[in-house]
């Protein structure tokens, strides 16, 4: 095996440990991370999205044989329901109980983001429908420049004066465009590019690691300067947001009687939000870094819970199959 391929696969296999190390380093060197890495978030975001686009052709995206109604339900839920839950929690914790408009905006903003780029990995580990997971992830990413600004405008427009045109442009240029360019290149040179899928997976992980460090730095900075009751409110709000989307993601396929393989897709798409996009919007729009604190807390929670949920879903499906 060529050394480059070996290293690529090693990085992907050790991604969880690399993420934990990046998180710890970000927390330990919070001032350095915020000073030097945070301004580079748009670069990391473009790298992640370009890598994602290079792994799937445009034809593959639309020929998976999946019912459009199923995709529509997942996409509508992850944007509308998640943002609505974020709004209710922001209203309670950061408007009624306390007056913290930056955290209120951050809670809504993160809820309006597309799916996190690692969702297909966890769906695969859970034994779920990977084809549906990849399709919903890519369509969620492509839809976000048009949907996310509207969600934030509707739910958080009264709290913070945000330039929604800038938000739209930032999502268009740093999220949608790199995915489309990568997918176009993959479509045109599919046979050649397919040989380097392990490289694209690796670059996606490597571009994500500095973002994880920034998440840790934001969390550490917030813990060091805020009063205890504010920290508790922020943690409870993010925990409630994460738990609510997990539960909704579990209930939807049960109520609609979808195949058991679709359950992980629903759960991960609703509960795992792309915090890199959240931070990218914050930097490009010139917002206070404190707006990213809910994304930081929420992101740490879903990174820690993702492998546990995957294992639980996989074992539950195995037990059900054995019983029948």
Nearest-5° angle of CA 77, CA 160, CA 222? 85
The per-residue pLDDT for range 219-264, each reduced to its tens digit, is: 888 888 878 888 899 999 999 999 999 999 999 999 998 988 899 9
| Tokens standing for residue 305 | 């819970």
pLDDT tens digits, 149-188 = 889 888 887 766 677 788 888 888 888 888 889 888 988 8
pLDDT over 70 percentage in the chain: 93
Structure tokens at 38: 């945070």
Q: How many residues does the chain have?
A: 324
CB-based contact 186:193 (threshold 8 Å): yes
The whole-angstrom separation of Cα 210 and Cα 44 is 8
Chain-centre distance of CA 234, in angstroms?
19
φ, ψ of residue 127 to 5 degrees: the values are 75, 25
| Separation CA 266–CA 253 (nearest Å) | 7
Residue 273's DSSP bridge partners are 115
For residues 137 and 61, what is the distance between their CA atoms, to the nearest angstrom?
10
> Please, what are the domains in the chain?
3-318 (1.20.1530.20)
Each residue's pLDDT tens digit, 97-143: 998 989 999 999 999 999 888 787 788 888 888 878 888 888 898 88
Q: Which of 48, 56, 38 is nearest to 215 (CA)?
A: 38
Tokens 């593959």 sit at which residue? 60
Q: What is the pLDDT of residue 62?
A: 62
Alpha-carbon 206 to chain mean position: 16
Tens digits of residue pLDDT in 4-57: 666 777 776 777 788 889 989 999 999 999 899 989 988 998 888 888 888 777
Q: What is the number of other CB atoms lying within 10 angstroms of the CB of residue 102?
A: 19
Residue 6 corresponds to which tokens in the numbers above?
A: 């070996």
Say what the pTM is: 0.85
Burial of 298 (0-12, 13-18, 19+ CB in 10 A): buried
Q: Which distant-in-sequence residues (6+ apart) come within 8 Å of 130 by Cβ?
A: 120, 123, 124
């Amino acid at each position: 095996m060529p050394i480059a391929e070996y290293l690529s696969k090693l990085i992907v296999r050790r991604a969880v440990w690399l993420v934990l190390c990046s998180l710890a380093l970000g927390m330990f060197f919070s001032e350095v991370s915020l000073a030097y890495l945070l301004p580079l978030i748009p670069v990391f975001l473009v790298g992640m999205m370009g890598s994602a686009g290079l792994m799937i052709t445009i034809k593959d995206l639309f020929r998976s044989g999946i019912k459009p109604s199923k995709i529509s339900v997942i996409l509508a839920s992850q944007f509308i329901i998640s943002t609505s839950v974020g709004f209710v929690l922001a209203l309670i914790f950061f408007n009624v109980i306390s007056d913290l408009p930056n955290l209120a905006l951050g809670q809504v903003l993160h809820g309006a983001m597309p799916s996190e780029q690692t969702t297909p990995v966890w769906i695969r580990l859970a034994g779920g429908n990977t084809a549906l997971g990849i399709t919903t992830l890519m369509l969620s990413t492509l839809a976000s420049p048009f949907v996310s600004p509207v969600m934030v405008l509707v739910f958080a427009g009264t709290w913070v004066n945000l330039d929604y045109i800038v938000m739209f442009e930032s999502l268009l240029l740093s999220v949608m465009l790199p995915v489309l360019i990568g997918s176009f290149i993959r479509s045109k040179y599919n046979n050649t590019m397919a040989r380097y899928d392990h490289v694209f997976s690796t670059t996606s992980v490597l571009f994500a690691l500095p973002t994880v460090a920034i998440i840790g730095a934001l969390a550490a900075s917030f813990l060091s300067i805020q009063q205890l009751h504010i920290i508790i409110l922020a943690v409870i709000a993010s925990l409630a947001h994460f738990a609510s989307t997990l539960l909704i993601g579990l209930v939807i396929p049960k109520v609609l009687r979808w195949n058991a393989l679709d359950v992980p897709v629903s759960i991960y798409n609703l509960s795992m939000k792309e915090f890199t996009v959240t931070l990218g919007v914050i930097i490009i729009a010139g917002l206070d870094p404190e707006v990213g604190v809910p994304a930081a807390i929420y992101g740490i929670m879903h990174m820690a819970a993702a492998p546990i949920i995957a294992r639980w879903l996989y074992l539950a499906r195995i037990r059900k199959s054995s019983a029948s």
